[in-house]
Each structure stands twice: as C-alpha cells, then as structure tokens.
C-alpha cells in the first residue's frame, strides 16, 4: 500500500471514530490548492532543459501551510498530495499553528551542478513566490534539498517581497536558521520514546535498542540514547549492519563512520546480516531509514516490545495488524518524527521575533511540545479506545476539523 492509500485509510478511520460530518470529511480531504509549474533553465553547457515543479497546499485552517520541498526523479503529484495531507495532521498533533503542504521538482539533483541547482531553485521560486510566504505557506528541506536550497529560495523570494527570513525554515544558521534544528527530529524521537516508556514504568537507561538507518535521524537518536545510558545493540545503514550485545559505543561508531564511510568492520562490534536487524531481539526497535520495511513477510518475527517510527511509513498496514495482535506497542510516525517540524516552527517564531534562542531553550521547548503531544494522544486513545496510531490521527484530524468549523462555511 503506498503512502497516499495508507494516509487516506488512516484519515477515514479517524473520521469514522470521530463521527465527522460527511461535508467536513470531504472538505478535509481535498487539497486547498495544487500548483504545477514548468521550470526551464539553461544548463552549464548552454542547452535548455525543463522540469516540472509541484506544490500541494493541503489545508490552512490552523495556520500557514508547512512542508518540505524535495528534488527527486520520482516526484509524483499523488505522493506529494499524500505527504501534504500528512503534514496537516502532523502539525495538528504537535499543536503548532500550521496547516500542511509539500512540494518538489522532478529532477535528479546529483546529475545537476551547483549552479544548475541554484538556477532551478530560483526559477521555481519565481513561479510560486506569490503563493508562498511567511503567513501563507512556509517550505522546508526534504529529500534532495538542504539548507543551501532554502538560502536560495529566501534570497529569490526577498527580491520580490523584501527581506523575509521566515518564508522558509531549515536555513543555514547565518541566515536565521535555528540552533538545534539539525538534531531536532532524532531528539524528538528520543523525547517521544521517553514519554512512551514512562507510561510503562520504564526508562531508556534500562533497555536495549535496535536502530535501522544511521543518517540524520538515526544517528542523532542513537547518540542521545547512548548519552542517556540506553544500550544500542544493533545499527544498520545502506552499507551494512553491526551488533554488540553489550551496547555499541555510539560516539566511537560515528568517528568510525566518518573515517571509513561505513558502519562495517567497527572494532566495537561484529558485522551482522542486515536482514536480521529488524527481527533482532531487543526492547525498542527504531526504523529510521525507509518506508515499508516492516511488512507481511517479517512482522511476525519481530521481537521488539516497542517500535518507534522515526522514518515515515516504516510499517505497512498488514504489518501494523500483525504487530498489534502480538501486543507490540507502536509509536506512530505522525507523532514520533514531528520534532523536526516543531523546531522548524521555533525557527519561524525566532525569525518573526527577530530574536535568536539559545540551544538549551530550543531543546527544552521541544521536550515540552513532544511530551504534551504524547499525553494528548493518550487521552484520545482512552476516549476512543484505540491504539496510538489512531489516537494520533483522531487528535490531529479533530483539531483541524474544529478549526474548520469555527472558521465557518459562508463565502
Ligand atoms: P538520511 O538520508 O540522513 O539517512 C537515511 C539513512 O538510511 C542513511 O543512514 C542510509 O544509509 C540509511 N539507509 C538507506 N537505505 C537503507 C537500507 N536499505 N537499510 C538500512 N539503512 C538504509 O535521512 P534522514 O533525514 O535521517 O531521514 C530518515 C527517515 O526519517 C526518512 O524516512 C525521512 O522521511 C524521515 N524523516 C526525517 C526528518 C528529518 O528532519 N530529517 C523528519 C521527519 C521524517
């Protein structure tokens, strides 16, 4: 099941549990605006090339729309649509005053030079500048884009509208980016895990963890778990997997990866079969790489008691069912990886305030938002007798529905 089908299914279940009026349900599903633009740029050799750029603005009932811009050859309008919708529920779960959006350009960024990427980003910004803005739609980096991309959008947008740092988040610190943004998603994963474990009278320091993916999210989550005394007993990335039943020294592993480019052959652990990682014996499994990795084939062999979905859509609906029957507790992606967008919100607030927070304040506020959202989800679980995924979806959908009704329907 693809991202669009899974998101729509979760939305419809939430709407049914909440008893949403059919008119509101339909209005919440249809995107506010879909933008498709042609972006033609001269390549470095002088030839002209055209790309198609998209921006789907899903909903703005709770505030400006928020979501990433990805550069990827398979950017497809249906997927962008699903991801925009997911952002609407995610920002509502985190209770930050935003709606949802997502965008992208169908291109292969590694085949473009830096100056071609800059031209493409500027042309895309020229085409959409009157439809995005600090109080309308605030893009951020996603797959294939980064802080530099946001810097170009900020610069191009500001030519039309004056200096506008809050038009994008995920910027370089020198241009108004927030301290703590790089670690925010991984840190949010750990705050969410702590809130979940506290419900069961457990804490990070007493448990074993397995982490798939050692990029931005996975490596920060691993580092913070290690700092708290938790035992990370197996880790994988695209290069392979390693394990150590006594706990991996994550600080040393990061150095090893920097030096060798791989996790493999680390002196503080043994290489292992990456296919075995997700079904390795542990207390908490944190998929932090790809979607759909937990599926019908492997779900019944999973031994973890808790799964924290740091990646988007790591558990397909069939696996969800199998794991629920086994009593595995799943902390859903819509909440677990919301730390990134929450600190993006702090970045936007700092830009509007014209005042930079120190990193401690950013991290403390992130913990407050993540912990509060967890308790809000638990309350929905109690009210509607549902699991954490439905607790999160009903929380998010209900908040957006309430805002929509309060705004009224008259033209
Ligand atoms: P990243 O590119 O920095 O890291 C991805 C990691 O996954 C890398 O270590 C890569 O080697 C590993 N990987 C790729 N294929 C693998 C495989 N087959 N087996 C094991 N590992 C594999 O990406 P990221 O920013 O860390 O994002 C990870 C996930 O978290 C994605 O699903 C992303 O959508 C989601 N997410 C990220 C953020 C954020 O702020 N970065 C926010 C929300 C959600």
The pLDDT tens digits of the residues spanning 249-271 come to 999 999 999 999 999 999 999 99
Please indicate whether residue 3, judged by its CB atom, sits closer than 6 Å to ligand 1.
Answer: no
Cα angle, residue 119 at apex, residues 113 and 124 outer, rounded to 5°: 125
Catalytic residue among 90, 102, 231, 257: 102
Residue closest via CA to ligand 1's atom 17 equals 238
Pocket of ligand 1 contains residue 213 by CB under 6 Å: yes
**How does the average pLDDT of the chain come out, rounded?**
96
Section 130-142 average pLDDT: 97
| Closest ligand 1 atom to Cα of 241 | 20
**Residue 8: what pLDDT?**
86
Give pLDDT, residue 79.
84
The model's confidence at residue 287, banded by pLDDT at 50, 70 and 90, is very high
Averaged pLDDT for residues 38-56: 97
Residue 312 CA to ligand 1 center (angstroms) comes to 9
Which of ligand 1's atoms lies nearest the C-alpha of 312?
A: 32
The pLDDT value given to residue 373: 98
CA 290 – ligand 1 centroid, Å:
6
pLDDT at 411 over 90: no
- Residue 232's pLDDT is 98
Is 102 a residue of the active site? yes
Query: Is the Cβ atom of 214 under 6 angstroms away from ligand 1?
Result: yes
CA distances from 348 to 103, 167, 189, 210, 237 (A): 19, 8, 21, 34, 32
Please give the Cα distance from 166 to 181 (Å, whole number): 15
pLDDT of residue 222: 98
CB 154 less than 6 A from any atom of ligand 1 = no
Which residues are 34's β-sheet partners? Answer: 56
Q: Atom 29 in ligand 1: which residue has the minimum CA distance? A: 311
How large a percentage of the chain has pLDDT more than 90? Answer: 93
Indicate if the pLDDT at residue 4 is higher than 90: no
Question: Cα angle vertex 69, ends 67, 74, to 5°?
Answer: 120
For 242-309, the DSSP string reads EE-TT---HHHHHHHHHHHSSSTT-TTSEEE-HHHHTTSS-SEEEE-S-TT-B-TTTGGG---SEEE-
**In angstroms, what is the span from residue 354 Cα to ligand 1's centroid?**
32
Q: Whole-angstrom Cα distance, residue 382 to residue 380?
A: 5
Whether the predicted pLDDT of 1 surpasses 60: no
pLDDT value for 407: 95
What is the mean pLDDT of the segment spanning 144-163? 97
Nearest atom, ligand 1, residue 310 CA: 30
- pLDDT at residue 7, rounded to an integer: 85
Query: Which residue minimizes the CA distance to atom 15 of ligand 1?
Result: 238
Q: Which residue's alpha carbon is nearest to atom 3 within ligand 1?
A: 215
- Its pTM stands at 0.96
**Shortest CA distance to 66 belongs to which of 172, 165, 140, 164?**
140
The pLDDT tens digits for 78-107 are 889 989 999 999 999 999 999 999 999 999
pLDDT single digits (tens) 340-389: 999 999 999 999 999 999 999 999 999 999 999 999 999 999 999 999 99
Residue from 312, 317, 293 nearest 304 by CA = 293
Residue 115 clears pLDDT 90, i.e. is over it: yes
Percent of the chain at pLDDT exceeding 70: 99
| Residue to mutate (ligand 1; options 189, 277, 289; most atoms within 8 A of CB) | 289
pLDDT tens digits, 214-242: 999 999 999 999 999 999 999 999 999 99
How large is the average pLDDT for residues 148-154? 98
Over residues 117-137, mean pLDDT: 98
What domains lie within the chain, and their CATH numbers?
Answer: 30-163 (3.40.50.10860), 184-331 (3.40.50.720)
Q: Give 127 Cα–ligand 1 centroid separation in angstroms.
A: 30
């Amino acid at each position: 099941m693809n991202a669009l089908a899974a998101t729509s299914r979760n939305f419809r279940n939430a709407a049914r549990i909440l008893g949403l009026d059919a008119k509101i349900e339909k209005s919440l599903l249809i995107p506010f605006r879909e933008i498709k633009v042609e972006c033609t740029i001269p390549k470095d050799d002088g030839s002209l090339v055209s790309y198609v750029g998209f921006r789907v603005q899903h909903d703005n009932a709770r505030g400006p729309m928020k979501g990433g811009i990805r550069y990827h050859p398979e950017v497809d309008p249906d997927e962008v649509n699903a991801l925009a919708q997911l952002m609407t529920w995610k920002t509502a779960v985190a209770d930050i005053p935003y709606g949802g959006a997502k965008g992208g350009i169908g291109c292969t960024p590694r085949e473009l030079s830096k100056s071609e990427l800059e031209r493409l980003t500027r042309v895309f910004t020229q085409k959409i500048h009157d439809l995005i803005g600090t109080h309308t739609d605030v893009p951020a980096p996603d797959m294939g884009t980064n802080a530099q991309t946001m810097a170009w959008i900020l610069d191009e947008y500001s030519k039309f509208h004056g200096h506008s740092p809050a038009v994008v988040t995920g910027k370089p610190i020198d241009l108004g980016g927030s301290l703590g943004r790089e670690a925010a998603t991984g840190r949010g994963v750990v705050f969410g895990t702590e809130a979940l474990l506290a419900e069961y009278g457990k804490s990070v320091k007493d448990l074993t963890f397995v982490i798939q993916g050692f990029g931005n999210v996975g490596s920060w989550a691993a580092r913070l778990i290690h700092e708290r005394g938790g035992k990370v007993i197996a880790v994988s990335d695209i290069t392979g997997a390693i394990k150590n039943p006594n706990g991996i020294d994550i600080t040393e592993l990061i150095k090893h990866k920097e030096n060798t480019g791989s996790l493999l052959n680390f002196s503080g652990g043994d290489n292992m079969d990456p296919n075995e990682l997700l079904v390795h014996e542990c207390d908490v499994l944190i998929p932090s790489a790809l979607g759909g990795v937990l599926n019908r084939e492997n779900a019944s062999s999973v031994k973890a008691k808790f799964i924290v979905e740091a990646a988007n859509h790591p558990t397909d609906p069939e696996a969800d069912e199998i794991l629920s029957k086994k009593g595995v507790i799943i902390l859903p992606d819509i909440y677990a990886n919301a730390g990134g967008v929450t600190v993006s919100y702090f970045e936007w607030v700092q830009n509007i305030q014209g005042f930079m927070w120190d990193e401690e304040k950013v991290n403390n506020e992130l913990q407050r938002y993540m912990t509060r959202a967890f308790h809000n989800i638990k309350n929905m679980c109690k009210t509607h007798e549902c699991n954490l995924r439905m607790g999160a979806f009903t929380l998010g959908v209900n908040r957006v529905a309430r805002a929509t009704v309060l705004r009224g329907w008259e033209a």
